[in-house]
Chain A
Amino acid sequence: MAFTKDEVLAGLADLVNDETGIATENVQLEKSFTDDLDIDSISMMTIVVNAEEKFDVKIPDDEVKNLKTVQDAVDYITGAQA
């Protein structure tokens, strides 16, 4: 069963909150993971690994650097779903 974009955003927000303590409502589509949310590379990789499990997708390491904003991540995850 595929996740909708809203469901992916909500799920990502939970993962970001769990890893960093950032309130879920602050995890918005236009936010940059590094510049706006101040997420470092280790936290980003932790979120990616947890997102792979949560949404049952693969996010190659080479792809992670392209996920600059929350929108990028939501789009990638929804597109990668089987």
Chain B
Amino acid sequence: MTKKIVITGIGATSPLGGTARESWEALLAGESGARSLEHEWVHEHELPVTFAAEARVRPETVLERPVAKRLDPSSQFALIAAKEAFADAGSPELPSERLGVDFSTGIGGLWTLLDAWDTLREKGPRRVMPMTVPMLMPNAPSAAVSMHFEARAYARTVASACASSTEALVNAYEHLQAGLADVVIAGGSESAIHPITLAAFSSMQALSRRNDDPATASRPYDVSRDGFVMGEGAAALVLETEEHALARGARIYAELAGGAVTADSYHITAPEPEGLGASRALHMALEAAGATPDEVTHINAHATSTPVGDVAEVRALHRVFGDRVREIPVSATKAAHGHLLGGTGALEAVFTALALQERTAPPTINVTEQDPDAPLRISGQPMALGDDPQLAVSNSFGFGGHNAVVAIRSV
């Protein structure tokens, strides 16, 4: 029998705020998290892109120093978001063997790796710190969260680039469905705003070059969009079987009604242009939710603000929803928070859960002239979702042809 899986806690540390609530309020207020970077390395390397959406609160200022010292920033962000989410869920008490962790990253401990490489070259192997490998490994965020909460059911790391943390939610959903845990802390994090990534993403023409106006650079569906904006941070959700949540009287934000992943097997970076894989993931996620496309009332789109990616997703949406796609309130929140890569899906799932709870689709800022090839219902202002039961989908797609979708239902 299918179990009902519910969201009982949320946490985030993002370019919009140091908590989920702060991030949400900044999102509703139409703020942008993108700013010019003030690091010396931007000018030292003459980077073609000089801005990004850095986290509003530096993680090392939140955690105790001995804890922070042993964690790459990607793990620091993860632990901060997970702690907020778990506390928000009322710190559920359960046997440690029934508490799981599903925490992803797209890239892993990039800063730790490259700092260690600099140390090796400048000072020799003896100065390379013994914690280097456990800090840079991609499962470090998952391990940090698991160790902090004594979560022993499992601690897993999905890596599917920018689909990672939506896939983590799908994994957690399946794990809970299978009865292998009662509560899972799921999410994703990224800390990869680094000269290497800015240079490399620039080389592939993936980043916006709007250096003179960072706040308007991420503009999904706008005719003048020219690439995504690097973001960083983490988000976490406490997922729980409804039975467990009700037994302890937990507050429920929304139901994680279903989820699915598919693969394009088409191109290492380009989305399959007809949206076949993405639309299949949408159909499968809705099927898992026991729902049909007709029931969907809100979409949190992947929409990174790249010329090609945004319209490929629109084709996928059109395949699933037909012409009704023009009527469903769509939010492309990367316009505000940039692209958190492996952390983005979890952040957008947090926003989707809040959208359903508050019956408000968050705004898509910066669209001054909507692309006629993206005839979606978007707005620069929050849109009311109405009092009827709501069903939303949140999409994430990653380099490698990974498609991940979660379906979230109001309660």
A interface residues (Cβ-Cβ under 8 A, vs B)? 18-21, 42, 45-46, 49, 52-53
Residues on B with C-beta less than 8 A from A19 are 66, 69
Return A13 CB to nearest CB of chain B, in Å.
14
Return B68 CB to nearest CB of chain A, in Å.
10
Taken together as a complex, chains A and B put the C-alpha atoms of A49 and B69 apart, in Å, by: 15
Residues on B with C-beta less than 8 A from A42 are 130-131, 134
Task: Tally A-B pairs: CB < 8 A.
Answer: 22
Name A's interface SS: helix
- B127 interfacial contact with A, CB 8 Å: yes
Taken together as a complex, chains A and B put the C-alpha atoms of A20 and B66 apart, in Å, by: 5
Could you name 9 residue pairs across A and B whose Cβ atoms are closer than 8 Å?
Answer: A18-B69, A21-B64, A21-B65, A42-B134, A46-B130, A46-B131, A49-B126, A52-B126, A53-B123
* Chain B, range 274-325, C-beta contacts under 8 Å to A: none
Taken together as a complex, chains A and B put the C-alpha atoms of A49 and B65 apart, in Å, by: 19
Taken together as a complex, chains A and B put the C-alpha atoms of A21 and B70 apart, in Å, by: 12
Taken together as a complex, chains A and B put the C-alpha atoms of A38 and B273 apart, in Å, by: 57
- B384 interfacial contact with A, CB 8 Å: no
Name B's interface SS: helix
Return B148 CB to nearest CB of chain A, in Å.
15
Identify which of B69, B130, B131 gathers the most chain A CB atoms within 10 Å of its CB.
Answer: B130
Given that A18-B69, A20-B66 are known contacts, is A49 also in contact with B131, CB under 8 Å in the complex? no
Residues on A with C-beta less than 8 A from B69 are 18-19
Residues on A with C-beta less than 8 A from B123 are 53
- B129 interfacial contact with A, CB 8 Å: yes
A interface footprint on B50-72 (CB within 8 Å = 1, 0 otherwise)? 00000000000000111001000
Taken together as a complex, chains A and B put the C-alpha atoms of A20 and B130 apart, in Å, by: 14
Contact in complex: A45, B66 (CB < 8 Å):
no
CB-contact partner of A49 in B64, B129, B134, under 8 A: B129
Taken together as a complex, chains A and B put the C-alpha atoms of A19 and B131 apart, in Å, by: 11
Taken together as a complex, chains A and B put the C-alpha atoms of A49 and B116 apart, in Å, by: 14
Return A80 CB to nearest CB of chain B, in Å.
14
Taken together as a complex, chains A and B put the C-alpha atoms of A42 and B135 apart, in Å, by: 12
